[in-house]
Structure 1
Amino acid sequence: MTQAIAVRPQVQCMIRDAHGELSSSYPARRWVRDPRPPSAPWTVHLADAEGRFWFAVFDLDAKKPEDHPAAAEELGVLVRVLEGENVPHVVLRSSPGGGYHVWVPTAALPLGLMEQLSAAAKAVLSETLDRGMLHNATSGAVRPPLSPHPAGGTSQLMAGDLAMLHRDAPGRVDAERMLRLIAAFRQLRPADSPEQEQPMGRLVPGYRPRKPLSPHGERSMAVAGGGANPSHNGYLCLLAAARAGWSFDDVRHAAQTAPGMEHYRTKRLPSGRRRRLQSAEAEARMHKQWERALDHVVTDSVRPDWTAPKDLSELAALVDDVDAVMTALRVSPGRWAVTEHGLHDATVLRAIAWLTLTSGSRTVAAAKRSVATLTGIPAPTAGRTLLRLVKAGHLAKRRAHDDDHAAVYALGNTFSTAQKHVEPLHNMNARPPGQLFDTRTVLLDQLTDELEAGRHDVFTRNGLGSTARRAYEALQRDARTPQQVADRAGLPVGRVRASLRILRRYSLATRVPGGWRRRVHDHRRRIAAALGVDGLLKRRNALYAAEREMWAWWKEHLSTRGGRQPRTRHQRDPRSPKTMPVRFVLTDARGGPDAFPEYPTHPDGLGDHTTAYRVVTTIGLQALRDLELSA
């Protein structure tokens, strides 16, 4: 098989050490025409010596049993996309332990087209796809079909005809058909916000959830069979429920009948059929995603609205700058990972980068309380960190804050990737628009995952601290060596090893063959309770919300006293929830039921801020307004 498909005269092989153990790389080379097969696993290149790709291989990793469901679900999505575009493919189980290789024969495609495919596929198959080989024309390689695996056994054919992979076989995928495949992936790419996503599938007529949901949530719940991507659609259902204030019991009850929550009732088998989940397995799967949805609701509370850039060159510059920021945080541990200040600087920079990509604007408004909510860092610390980053030139302050608006920042010139071009502009190879949005989605997924993983009570100062947080953020679903974790986290490898031992002691990381990874089950809340910090961030966020409400109330009091037209509370914040109906719908000099109530004052006319704070945190402004109108 290797001789039939190899596009280079040599293959790369593993070697054994003095104890007979296999290396984790493929340093040796063997001639393809050598009649003796290698004594250790080997790989074949996907591209020839000229950099033209003759294969596209989708590697869906599942090194642990708990990863198998996610890999099987994404295999189903991938196969449906390939079959929908009539793309020839071969599906193999990469090893007896799990994981899949999906081979697509291609017709000498250029690297640029494979980079587009890599970004588009990763945006959809975000959990298990290892895409490194898809955009590496020099050394991108994979074990050939039926070849041995380092852990034992061989890859096994599941579907397709291996003869279509032979070099002289007809029907290889050309550039035109590859562009159609890329477009099919982009149709499944997650939108910037769940409300913008259109359900991929037929809606079951007449289905209504038991409790109120947003229109988008109702559509997600009603998608027959979970749609084209049951895993993603099931998560959208949980996210809509979390935003609507549902409890986990409400979600568990809805999962029994909601068509769109098929992912939490059955699991996909490698054969393509679905098997009903055991109740304990279904609940564990749902609980893990529910915790993730609750974290995402906090992130969405500070998500800015998307503003389409004037042209794609502006968006390309934003993506390049954010990529440069993430690279700088990785390669300069002496600046970002030695002190607590440096770790806070890196966390706030990632938050500004996330706001930049989310908004599509080079300048973003970033109040210190919003940054604190997004990162889990206390608001005073976040404010000092922003000032420190501006002073160092890593952020540029474009506008100072005023009474009603937060300060506006932009990523500094220290991260700019702009280069001086000596060629005419028409000779430059710009990224296609689709690839640009795919790359943006992948970067956003990475930033969101790191922010949500580290924003937890257990990593506050009285918990495990900032270094353990950064190491935990850098851990992946698949195994990583301490050096790989250090490279991703931008930490010295010695501190990474110490942090990994701490995370393992508290059941937040586990050691597996090949390195370290996060635990499958999230124990952060249990460990936070044991450390006495459970609920700390929730109390902080409640405090920030109360301070914002009290400040808006005080500003409205000054506005009313100055003779200007009072504003209603809904005019102040369009994201404010609708008020409950009042018993007596009356109006007074301040306006209708949505207006601010009278601010408490002392006899001398000065504001009684202590009483105002107590009203905001206990009674609530709407209840006080109802009392005024009732009186």
Structure 2
Amino acid sequence: MFELCTREWSPRPRVRVDAQRMHDYLSTSAMPATAPTVPWAIHLAGTDHRFRLLAFDLDSGRHGADIARSDALRLCGVLDELGVAHLRTASGPTGGQHVWVRLAEPGASADSVRHLAHALRQHYPSLDTAPLTNPATGAVRPPGAPHRHGGYSLPYLDESLPYLDERALTGTLARMSVGTAPEVVQWLLARHPHTELPERPDRARAVRIIDGPAGPRLDRPRRPLTARTRALLTATPSAGTDRSALAHSILLGMATAGHSLADIAAAVDAAPGLVRLRDDRDRGRDDTARQWQRALAAAARFPVTTGDDRDPIDDELDRVDTAVTADPARWARPGGASDERILHALCVLARTARTRTLDIDVRRLAEAAAVHASTVSRRLRVLAGEGWVTRVRAGSGTKASTWELNLPQLGATQGEPAPAVSPGTPLALLEHHTHDVWSNRAGLGGAFARIHWAVLEFGKHVSSAHGRIPLVAFVAAATGYTRGTITRTLDKLHTLGLLPTSPGTSRKSMDRTAHLLGATGTAADRAHRHLVDRELHRWWIEELEWRRRPGKKRGVRPVPRGSLALPIAAPARARYGRFPTGDDGRADYHAARTIVSTALGYFPLPHLTVI
């Protein structure tokens, strides 16, 4: 297994190694002669950044093992229909799945694979897109590699014959040795209808990263650090500061100013702002070089500036984040938890798109905020009335509405945000608030999520200053809810085993409780349902256009499911045929939904009664 799936499959002569079993794969090693005893991963793309492997990592961490297995089964079904040789593996004891496809020369371009990853994510919510969107470092554990929690990545060929069947495995590996034509990327795109990601505005061409005598740096003249970066570098972090985010902000500023790894190493020795990197180094786990490469990669995409070391959009969105979190009591009102979540979701999406103006439909925003689409529609009107957002253009046909996040007005005495304000905080908060355990299926909801988050913050930020503040008082200040509401909620959280007993236990307890309450997979089910809704709407719009077209009309036969892939932009009527109608001639939406659901392989979760 090692000789074939690692040494032969790998497009590079080196592997990434998780020597400490910390899931970081920071170390690299020349291709070993025998299988290592620690987890290792192989790159998916060669040094030319063209993909020779497609590894679809269906992770159980977010939606649970059942969703990961279901997604893997559906994806393998599509590959079978296309006649693509592939290998499915169970990645380890946690229930994650990997689906491998080998590509023939010259491989697939990084842009086309990145496009495919984002399209498939709309169909398979458990898909981890990171390995497929980073041709430089994207890597996945190959078949036969150990898992950090025990066990190995083992071939999983058939639902009725789990794991190894030597004859079937030998046949599959033999078919994969030929390599699939790179056009499989386009075939998969054609089989998975999707909405395009919002295009980023034109930016200056990326700056090269060069490896000089003092280590890697951007290919630009070295200049003094800005006042903001100097302040972050020399100030001692206050209690509660996200020290990792602070270090990244400093490294980003130094990278933009043309500094090198040698400058960073010198700063780590004494600079108060880089205490996180210094502590890691002193504990024998020096992460400076990796964090510097990460900062260089981010800074290389920014145009050269002379007055600041950050992209203006980041400062603008920091202002929005600060305004959202400034008055917690605002979101304790009815519907406030949804309002807060929607605004945080818009901020996260805006950071990804690098613009405050977003073309986004209510279903996509509902998935990002983990609320119902009708709730998003109602609450956006409320937020628009309060000045948080503005609808720039109404949706039309299959085009989504355009919304703009408004900048809050700065007060006369308000200055630059404190270093403790971290752009990463809204993302962490959103990942917490959108967990399945807070869904209506679990019977908890947004208020429980806000109070639980405040409890976690109390545990992280407690210090000599905060230690004298009782938990209920701290949560009341952080959420705006009454003490009675907080006390009742804390009792319920305690009963469900959701109150953290030690650092790092909150995520596991949330996963466990969601499973016990029958809520695991709620977000995935919502994403699938919305995908069907979008396809159904697109089909009906095309049907209306066809009916209104003058002249003689010809019907369209749907393409059989197992036939050759359609072009990416194929009309819905070519995929599904004529929109079904009843005996009275009216559109039969129930029958149409069944057709689309079957074509997309979507079957909703059964309704589970929560006791």
Q: TM-score, normalised by structure 1?
A: 0.44
Higher radius of gyration, 1 or 2:
1
